[in-house]
Amino acid sequence: MRFVYLGADPDTTLALLQLPVTAARSDVAVLLCPPFGWDDVCSYRSRYAWSQALAEAGHPTVRIDLPGTGDTDGSPRTPGRLDAWTDAVSMAARWLRDETGCGRIAAIGLGLGGLVAYVALVRDAEIDDLALWAVPARGRALVRELRAFSLLERAAADALEPGPALPDHSALEVPGADDGSLEVGGFVMTAETVEALERVDLMKLALPDAARRRVLLLGRDDLAPDARLREHLERAGTAVSVADGRGYGLMMQDPRIARPPRQVFAQTISWLAATPSGSARSPADRGSYSAPRPRATLELMCGDEAVRETPFRVQVGAERLFGILSEPAAGQRAGATAVLFNAGSVRRIGPNRMWVEIARSWAARGVPTLRIDLSGVGDSDGDERPYLSTAAYYVPELTERAVAVLDALGSRGLPNRFILGGLCSGAYWSFACASQDERVIGALMINLWTFAWSDDLAAERALRNAGRLLRGDGPRDWTLRNVYEAGLRVIRTSLGRRRSRTRRARETRAVLDRLRDRRTELLLQFSADEALYDDLARDRILDDLDRWPNLRLERIPGHDHTFRALRSQSQLRRDFDEALGRVLAGIGESGPSRGEI
């Protein structure tokens, strides 16, 4: 796999090229275009598996992040997003043809990605064929669906108690929170972008050389593809194939339980196998083009400071882990390195892309910051299937991999003192590394699930979730089967549960004492109704916080485990930045002023 940056600031595209490992390479290369926001997050690992399946079938395949999303530069608030997305798809297609020498390029687009790929083709992109999955004929249909999800999220949030109040609520600044932007799934689409998308009507856009092209329309499980789009393409003489797109819903579930739609993988590979050789465009119409020059690094401005980002790979045993390293491009480095772990099965961009923003901001303060995927997540090797069980996130092997990442950073000449951060399981790895590795001088933890894993703790939490589900406010991915399994687990571990709680509380105090004596900065952030916070209150650890002056505990409004509300994200960012300041002050450094994204 090869990782390159295409384009220029602020509209750079990260392209991830998967090449066939066999000699039987097809003349058809594939460009995978992502959906928007939360759908992008949920389907990321599936698209990773899709690119591997395509490469195994002989098709060079490139996946991209659209400008202002994922690991690219820019922001969703940067003007001209639709044009930037279209240009990015065009650049990637040109580079893919030039890099692989393939005569034909097929773009596979999901939702927004398919809409953008179609527009790019009409605007003369080097794309020959299209596979469109869950792509409407009009952009306003896509916006209408996003707006419906946004309203559902808001209604669900309003139905719950607001949770703990912010201590300084009025001081929080949330840029653009009331500017007409659409917030959905923790991601933002500006009013300008919404208006641009609503103006897109594929039925008014004629494909050039339509009779030479092929289009595969994929439905969404039981929903057929947009009939108007199919009729429009068939009237133009395009060779249209239709398939049901079975597995779309499973792919778009929470990343922990999302599953690759392998039936669709096989359908697309079969469809590609019937592709005629050569470009769909006549040689006279194609003309000459200049493929963009790929770059191994990305340079961007964060406030007044220049930041450089580089793909980062580290071999741990048989697995290769992948991340992105943000560093100050010039000026003095701080004496510490930060690492932000994937949040559960959400890849290295972090919840709602917060890790990208934090990493760049901290690099602008002189702190090299790595956002990393551990095993089976994002673009790292490993099997994602074990994560169907929560226990899989808490095995010692993952903490060992996290420590190996620290070793790799130190061996590359980066400061050998570390500040770790994460949400949920990422918070656990941060704490576990801090408790056993004296190089860790800070652990910043959002919604930590537990300080130490045990089966009896899992049984308690399972019983708690089962009760919440029966009350109607349980985890979204729980079913009655989960309740049944929780009951069995509780029965098996019911004896001695009180003794276990007492032991866990004693062990927690001992570890916190040890980290206090080492002066390790600790930040704990909790939204409402988090089990560990309730445990700390029950065990009276919250009553003794003065015992650990190195520990700050903050409550964030709302019940959302991943903090999709912009105000919550702003509070999290502020708490993280203040914690970094305390760590730097503790080692006698202040660093440059904070860089703003």
Q: What is the 3-state secondary structure (H, E, C) of 33-44?
A: ECCCCHHHHHHH
Specify if 575 maps to a domain.
Answer: yes
Query: Could you tell me the two tokens for 58?
Result: 């002989």
pLDDT value at residue 566? 85
Query: Could you tell me the two tokens for 272?
Result: 């590609």
List of residues 6+ apart from 147 with CB closer than 8 A? 182, 184
Least trusted range by pLDDT, from 116-120, 165-169, 538-542: 165-169
Confidence band for 480, pLDDT divided at 50, 70 and 90: low
CA 559, CA 488: separation in Å to the nearest integer?
A: 28
CA 402, CA 421: separation in Å to the nearest integer?
A: 12
Count of structural domains, the chain:
2
Same domain, residue pair 137 and 267: yes
Specify if 168 maps to a domain.
Answer: no
CA 331, CA 15: separation in Å to the nearest integer?
A: 29
Q: Given the DSSP bridges, would you call strands 369-373 and 337-341 parallel, antiparallel or unpaired?
A: parallel
List of residues 6+ apart from 21 with CB closer than 8 A? 55, 56
List of residues 6+ apart from 289 with CB closer than 8 A? 94, 126
CA 55, CA 61: separation in Å to the nearest integer?
A: 6
Same domain, residue pair 144 and 50: yes
pLDDT value at residue 330? 87
Query: Could you tell me the two tokens for 553?
Result: 């505990």
pLDDT value at residue 460? 74
Least trusted range by pLDDT, from 18-22, 210-214, 582-586: 18-22
CA 28, CA 47: separation in Å to the nearest integer?
A: 18
Specify if 86 maps to a domain.
Answer: yes
CATH number (domain holding residue 547) = 3.40.50.1820
pLDDT value at residue 8? 83
pLDDT value at residue 558? 83
How many beta carbons lie within 10 A of that of residue 564, not counting itself?
20
Whether residue 88 is predicted with pLDDT greater than 60 in this model: the reply is yes
> For 291-324, what is each residue's pLDDT tens digit?
778 999 999 999 899 999 999 999 999 999 999 9
Least trusted range by pLDDT, from 159-168, 233-242, 278-287, 574-583: 159-168
Final residue in a domain of this structure, among 261, 285, 309: 285
Same domain, residue pair 318 and 434: yes
Q: What is the mean pLDDT of residues 328-349?
A: 94
- Please say whether the beta carbons of 361 and 594 come within 8 A: yes
Specify if 462 maps to a domain.
Answer: no
Specify if 167 maps to a domain.
Answer: no
pLDDT value at residue 488? 57
Q: What is the mean pLDDT of residues 476-504?
A: 59
Confidence band for 490, pLDDT divided at 50, 70 and 90: low
Whether residue 169 is predicted with pLDDT greater than 50 in this model: the reply is no
Same domain, residue pair 246 and 386: no
Burial class (CB in 10 A: 0-12, 13-18, 19+), 188: buried
Query: Could you tell me the two tokens for 465?
Result: 């979730």
Same domain, residue pair 250 and 151: yes
Q: What is the mean pLDDT of residues 220-232?
A: 95
pLDDT value at residue 171? 43
Select, from the ranges 4-13, 195-204, 326-335, the one with the highest average predicted confidence (pLDDT): 195-204
Phi, then psi, of 442 in degrees rounded to 5: -160, 140
3-state secondary structure (DSSP) of residue 468? helix
Domain containing 241 equals: 2-158+198-285
Same domain, residue pair 281 and 376: no
Query: Could you tell me the two tokens for 307?
Result: 């930041």
Q: What is the mean pLDDT of residues 489-497?
A: 52
Q: What is the mean pLDDT of residues 584-597?
A: 62
Same domain, residue pair 277 and 305: no
Same domain, residue pair 14 and 60: yes
Mean pLDDT score across all residues of the chain: 89
Which stretch of DSSP H or E encloses residue 421? strand 418-423
pLDDT value at residue 109? 98
Final residue in a domain of this structure, among 285, 310, 338: 285
pLDDT value at residue 434? 98
pLDDT value at residue 178? 64
Final residue in a domain of this structure, among 229, 260, 285: 285
> For 228-252, what is each residue's pLDDT tens digit?
999 999 999 999 999 999 999 999 9
Least trusted range by pLDDT, from 8-12, 82-86, 367-371, 538-542: 8-12
Which comes out higher in pLDDT, residue 321 or 556? Answer: 321
3-state secondary structure (DSSP) of residue 64? strand
Specify if 175 maps to a domain.
Answer: no
Whether residue 168 is predicted with pLDDT greater than 60 in this model: the reply is no
pLDDT value at residue 596? 37
pLDDT value at residue 465? 63
Q: What is the mean pLDDT of residues 121-146?
A: 96
Same domain, residue pair 246 and 377: no
Select, from the ranges 167-171, 372-376, 500-504, the one with the highest average predicted confidence (pLDDT): 372-376
Q: Where are the beta strands (DSSP E) in 438-508?
A: 440-446
Least trusted range by pLDDT, from 112-116, 170-174, 193-197: 170-174
Least trusted range by pLDDT, from 289-298, 360-369, 465-474, 548-557: 465-474
Count how many Cα atoms sit within 13 Å of the Cα of residue 414 in the half-sphere of its side chain: 26
Same domain, residue pair 41 and 98: yes
Q: What is the mean pLDDT of residues 184-211?
A: 95
Confidence band for 165, pLDDT divided at 50, 70 and 90: low
Which stretch of DSSP H or E encloses residue 17? strand 13-18
ω before 20 within 30° of 0 (cis)?
no
- Please say whether the beta carbons of 339 and 409 come within 8 A: yes
Percent of the chain with pLDDT over 70: 87
How many beta carbons lie within 10 A of that of residue 284, not counting itself?
6
> For 52-70, what is each residue's pLDDT tens digit?
999 999 999 999 999 999 9
pLDDT value at residue 10? 81
Specify if 317 maps to a domain.
Answer: yes
CA 432, CA 427: separation in Å to the nearest integer?
A: 9
pLDDT value at residue 408? 97
Whether residue 216 is predicted with pLDDT greater than 80 in this model: the reply is yes
Helix axes 455-471, 497-517, angle to 10 degrees: 110
Same domain, residue pair 154 and 19: yes
> For 68-80, what is each residue's pLDDT tens digit?
999 999 899 999 9
CA distances from 537 to 69, 244, 530, 540 (A): 39, 51, 11, 5
The residue among 577, 557, 597, 554 whose CA lies nearest residue 176 is 597
pLDDT value at residue 471? 56
Confidence band for 170, pLDDT divided at 50, 70 and 90: very low
Specify if 385 maps to a domain.
Answer: yes
Whether residue 495 is predicted with pLDDT greater than 60 in this model: the reply is no
Same domain, residue pair 133 and 210: yes
Confidence band for 431, pLDDT divided at 50, 70 and 90: very high
